Amino acid sequence: MKKILAIILASLSVSAQSIDLSNLVNQSQSIVDTFDAGIQRVAGMEALAHDGSIAPVGTVDDAKLTYEQAQAYNDALQMTTEAVYTMSAEEFVDEQVDMARADLSTAVSAFVGASEVLIQAVVVNDMAEQAQESGDAIEAQEVQSYIAENNVEITDVHVDVYNESLETVEETAQTYAAFVAVQSDEGLVQDMQAEVDLMGEDFLNAYDAVFDASSGIATLAFHTTDSVLIYGMFDAYTTAENILTSGQEAEFYTTSPTGDECFFEDCYAE
């Protein structure tokens, strides 16, 4: 994968520090544990007091907050507010891959929902073929009954929704594939890190990571400056033939209404 251009319009020095919230986690957990112990004791004393059961002296001692706990917690708060956190190119790309994967999953689910009326067309086709081959009037009447009793017509709205769902799957799959391609190219990720380091920028300030499949260009901008990175993803493209071949072998197809002849009936029942 070849980087074709990196545009640096401005730069800003940024302090670098790894993300470490362990101290805040530990100190706040200490407060939470003490608070939880207090709630349990208050709940128990309040409940048993109604029965005339007297709590022994010192029941709440182990649930008291200490000055040291409070100070340690406050110190951790201060350290956290003063810290400057960073994100590496690898972390940023991993995050983009996760988000793009979720978008693709959502798009595929939307496609499945938009396919309901087309699934009905598969049923009608199967029934009509069997009736045609058999020449049986009863089977033909069953086709008529099925059409009358089920919502099988395809409206213009159905057409639009289905086509839009296909386009959305294409777009989200392209974006997801582009980020996976970047993630898999160790040299490219290292190059991105070097460029951003040179700019004095940080990936924590990156936003608007966009891939344009029509041009093959991926761009990345930053909140804090006018810096933009531009990369060509031309080597990551496959062919429509490969897509079809892979699709015919994929479980999504082999378990689908058109790819599985047993989709509408249990062919595997003994």
pLDDT in tens, 49-104: 999 999 999 999 999 999 999 999 999 999 888 776 788 999 999 999 999 999 99
pLDDT in tens, 4-54: 334 333 333 333 345 678 999 999 999 999 999 999 999 999 999 999 999
Higher per-residue confidence, 164 vs 200 = 164
Q: How confident is the model at residue 266 (pLDDT cuts 50, 70, 90)?
A: low
Q: What are the distances in angstroms from CA 90 to CA 97, 129, 202? A: 11, 54, 12
